[in-house]
Structure 1
Amino acid sequence: MSADRPYENLKSLLIFNKKEEDLLTLALQNMAADGNDVERLLKKMSRIYDLSKVSNTFDKNFLSKMDRLEKAKTDKKVVILRDYHSTNSSTVADRRVEPFKVSAEDDILHAFDLDKKQVRHYRISRISKLDLTDSDWQHEGSHYEQATDPFRIHSREHLRVHLRLNVGAYNALLESYPIARAYLKAAPDAAEQFDLVCKVNSKFYGLSNFIMGNYQNIVAIYEPDELIDHIQAEAKLLLGKINYFFSPY
């Protein structure tokens, strides 16, 4: 496997269609070998097949960015994130960073921002392109992983939230934020409803957009009061904009 194209090569190696999977499974099951060995092989094949489905969701551009970020991390070099689309600041700008952790499954890059002088999280999918530089890391001592909330937001201040979702909101949440599965439980007193209980950033980034975009499937917001007040304020702002859009000239 070529050392400079690991992710694209990995993708090409791990693609099995359903017929191939079935044939491999049948062959293993009919092998005249120790049952434990066959079982281990079947489990390994199952994991590889799952990886092939995951790898198939990454397009060529995403894999290329992953490849470059991993190389920069290994070589301890600075990269420039070109035209990064920031949701929080609503800006498109370049970022000069030292990348030290790349998480494809979470679509997250952990890096030290050379302009802000702090660790930041970036969505890999929001990076237009990457430029590798010859500049060495200068702040490795400041590289440390910061935990994110289920909405992939890092914050020093967190608040506990409790929401109740119906099936539609449950599906929408997991499709956009798979890590939230760990904080979802079936409602004890209602069929086909789910409780989301977790700590999130105190600005409610991510969560408020989810609620506003799926309001028809949100059964209830139980806590905290700060979240309820925040959503009410957002709803009033939205209503004001709607009235403005449709007001006569």
Structure 2
Amino acid sequence: MKYGDSWTRSRVLSQALRILMMIQSGKYSVSDIMKIQGVSRKTVYRYLDSFREAGLDINYSNHIFSLNRSEGIEGDLTDLFLFSPDEAVTLYNALDVIETNTLVRQKLKDKLMSIYGAHVVQEKLIRKESLHRVQNLMFAIDNEKQVILAGYSSPNSSTMRDRLVEPFRIGPDNEQVWCYDIDSGKCKTFKVSRIQEVQITDKSWRFKHMHVSGYTDPFRMISNDGRMLPCRLVLNRRAMELLREEYPLSEQYIQQTGPDQWLADIPVSNYIGIGRFVAGLLDYIQIQTPALQQYLRQYLHRSLDKL
């Protein structure tokens, strides 16, 4: 077996399951699946062909795919697995008190998230003081409602004021939300921790055609226009484990290439987040991206000047 084959196979199976569960819901088009799962149209149709070859009867009507219930699949597909959604949440919560390797615990949580979906276990990732705000944002997104971000504190303008927005996507770890800001007529990200209260209005979305989310990289850096920069690193085991522990979303971009060598080919919004990580582990990381090398030279030079 080649290095990384087991991880790749697990990733493909997890992705296939998520797509199958979306089809089962009967609410998503191919374009929706492409956007939510981050895959190409060709990939979606390849999975559809595989499902049909496996004997599933997949219907297509009004641009929406669904499963034919006559095939004997009753209820939710998660009922076919070891845990029910309630059991998955209980297990997820219990993992926090188990004394085990941090990476192992995080991988188990990630698997529960990928199989049972964000709405089932996502609340366990949210601090209690943010829970109500995130719940209201999720409700507004699901029901396509405008909301008021009451008392939003902006670090750029050093002001605190209400914002009327159309939220349409929750970011990684529920730390930010992508919204269409009606006052400015632009899509922006807002930090959930800086919102005092999310007030749901009775007004439906008016600018859905303007909803365009940028890119949030595994280091939680945001690109508002969706542009990504290349970042290619060669890591030893120590650097690889620290990267996956501190930034779990980076795991999908890591591939083992030798007994003590991993390749991380990660698209990033900018070099700020990845630069901070690499700067502390220069003895364990080979940088193969010239632009990142140049950024780090400038970053370290500025840091030394402050001493």
Q: TM-score range by the shorter chain?
A: 0.5 to 0.7
Q: In the alignment, does 2:170 pair up with 1:130?
A: no
Stretch of structure 1 that moved more, 41-50 or 93-102: 41-50
Q: In the alignment, does 2:209 pair up with 1:151?
A: no
Aligned sequence identity (%): 21
* Equivalent-residue separation in structure 1 for 2:302 and 2:167 (angstroms): 37
Match of 2:187 in 1: 119
* Equivalent-residue separation in structure 2 for 1:42 and 1:241 (angstroms): 56
The code of the aligned residue for 1:60 comes to K
1:146-187 CA-to-partner distances (Å, cap 9, x unmatched) read 443333423443232111233443333323432211101124
Pairing 1:152-171 to 2, within 5 Å after superposition: 152=220, 153-154=222-223, 155-171=225-241
Q: Structure 1 length as normaliser, TM-score? A: 0.63
* Equivalent-residue separation in structure 1 for 2:150 and 2:246 (angstroms): 23
The code of the aligned residue for 2:147 comes to V
Deviation at 1:220, TM superposition (A): 1.3
1:47 to 79, 85, 88: 88
* Bigger CA radius of gyration: 1
Deviation at 1:222, TM superposition (A): 1.1
Give the aligned length. 196
* Equivalent-residue separation in structure 1 for 2:278 and 2:159 (angstroms): 25
CA contact (8 A) 1:82 1:131 kept: no
Q: In the alignment, does 2:301 pair up with 1:236?
A: yes
Deviation at 1:127, TM superposition (A): 2.5
Match of 1:204 in 2: 271
The code of the aligned residue for 1:110 comes to W
Match of 2:287 in 1: 221
- Structure 2: gaps (5+ residues): 1-78, 96-120
Deviation at 1:218, TM superposition (A): 4.1
Q: 1:42 to 1:157 in 2, by over 3 A?
A: closer
Match of 1:69 in 2: 137
Match of 1:177 in 2: 247
Could you say which structure has the higher helix fraction? 2
Aligned with 1:68: secondary structure?
helix
CA contact (8 A) 1:162 1:197 kept: yes
Q: 1:204 to 1:156 in 2, by over 3 A?
A: same
Q: 1:207 to 1:115 in 2, by over 3 A?
A: farther
* Equivalent-residue separation in structure 2 for 1:185 and 1:49 (angstroms): 31
* Equivalent-residue separation in structure 2 for 1:159 and 1:182 (angstroms): 17
Q: In the alignment, does 2:208 pair up with 1:140?
A: yes
* Equivalent-residue separation in structure 2 for 1:176 and 1:129 (angstroms): 28
Q: CA RMSD in A?
A: 3.3
* Equivalent-residue separation in structure 2 for 1:234 and 1:92 (angstroms): 30
Match of 2:55 in 1: none
* Equivalent-residue separation in structure 2 for 1:194 and 1:84 (angstroms): 41
CA contact (8 A) 2:126 2:174 kept: no
Match of 2:147 in 1: 78
Q: 1:135 to 1:50 in 2, by over 3 A?
A: same
Q: Structure 2 length as normaliser, TM-score? A: 0.53
Deviation at 1:111, TM superposition (A): 1.1
1:114-158 CA-to-partner distances (Å, cap 9, x unmatched) read 34422223443x324224264834422212344433334234432
